Amino acid sequence: MATDIGIDLGSSKTVIFSSSKVVLELPNVVTVDADTWEPVYYGEKAKQTIGRTPDSLLSVYPIEHGVISDYDLTELMLKNYMEQAFGNKILRPRIMATLPAGLTELQHHSLSNVVEAAGGRNITVIEGPLAIAFGLGLDFSVPHGTLIVDIGAGTTDVAVISLGGIAACDSFKIASFDFDAQIIRYVRREYNIEIGQLTAEAIKIKVGCAVKRDIEVAMVAKGRNIFSGLPESFEITSGEVYDAIKDTLKLICNAIREVINKTDPDLVADIMADGMYLTGGGSQLSGFAQLISDYLGIKVHQMDDPTHSVVKGAAVAIKKPELLKNVDYQMRSIKELEIE
C-alpha cells in the first residue's frame, strides 16, 4: 500500500513516484468535448489527438507555464492518474507536490487543493529547485550556495540554495515548449510548410542542438504546404534547428545570469567554485550544458536522470521532513491552508 508519494505536476507531464520508483509518467493533456467540456481522453491518448481532433473535440493543456490554468480539468486528470498508478490500493497517502519557484501563496494553495481532491491526505507543496536539492543530498546545515537550473517544458526555474532554503530564485516562462514554437515558425517561413506541435517536438528531439554540431545531421518531416494545401515532405538539418531556436537559447542563458546578478557575492563565489546543476527535460537538448558553461563561465553538472530529478527529490523530502525545518514547511492538511 502506497503511503508516501511524490508528484511532479508539470506543464508537459505528471510524474508520480512511490516505493522507490516512478509508477506513472503521462502527458498533461486532456481531450474534452467542445460543447460540454467533459473529458474524453487523458494522457498519451489525449496527446496523440493534438492537431487531429474533429470540431466536436478539443485538446487542452490544463497546466500552463507550471501553473494550473483549468482547476476542474487538472483535478479530474490527476484523480485519473492516481487511479491508474495505484487503483484502490492507497488510503489517503501523504503527498509531496512540486511547483515552479517564486509562485504566490494562492498558487501553492491551488495545487494543494487539487492534490487533496485527487486523494491526498497530508500535502506539502515545495518549489522544484528545492526538491532537486534534497535529491542531491546537499548539506543544509552549512551556509553554502548551490545554483540549480531546471529547464522544463513551460518554465525555466533558476534558484540559489543555501542552508536548506532559497536565497535567490526566479521562474521564467521560457522553456522547451518555446523551442517547438520557434521550429514551427522557422519551417513555415523557410519552407512554406505548416507543421504541428508533435512534429516540431520530434524534430527538436531528433536533430535539435544548442551548439552547432561538428557533423550535421538531418531528418525528413511532413507537413501541409500553406499555398497548395497539400501534404509535403521536407528535410531539415540540425544547423537549421539551431538557427530557429538560438534566440530562445540566449534568453534562457540571460535568465540564469539575472538570478546570479541578484545573488549575494559570497554565494556566487561558492557557485563559481562548485559549478551549477542542470536538470529538467529541456536540458537534454544536445550541447545545452556546453552552451551555458561557455556563456556564463561556470562549470555545469548535468544530472543523470533530468526528467525525474524533481519528483525523486520530493520523495526524499517526504521521508526526511527534518530537511524542511530551515524553510518553515510542514506536512499539513488543506484545511490548514485555507485563506482567511
Taking Cα atoms as reference points, which of 101, 107, 106, 126 lies closest to residue 6?
126
Domains in the chain, please, with CATH?
2-132+309-337 (3.30.420.40)
Encode pLDDT of 190-202 as tens digits: 999 999 999 999 9
The pTM for the full model equals: 0.89
Residue 335: the pLDDT is 37
Cβ atoms within 10 Å, residue 125: 24
User: Measured in whole angstroms, how far is the alpha carbon of residue 84 from the centre of its chain?
Assistant: 21
Nearest-angstrom CA–CA distance, 9 and 111 = 9
Q: What pLDDT is stored for residue 88 in this prediction? A: 72
Closest CA to 328 of 106, 170, 164: 164
* Contact yes or no for 160/18 (Cβ under 8 A): no
- What local confidence, expressed as pLDDT, does residue 236 receive? 97
φ/ψ (deg, to 5) at 60:
-125, 135
Q: Please report the pLDDT score of residue 90 as a whole number.
A: 64
101-158 per-position pLDDT tens digit: 877 778 888 888 888 887 777 788 888 998 999 889 888 788 999 999 999 999 999 9
Q: In this model, does residue 96 exceed pLDDT 50?
A: yes
For strands 2-9 and 90-99, give the pairing.
Answer: parallel
* Contact criterion met (CB below 8 Å) for 306 and 280: yes
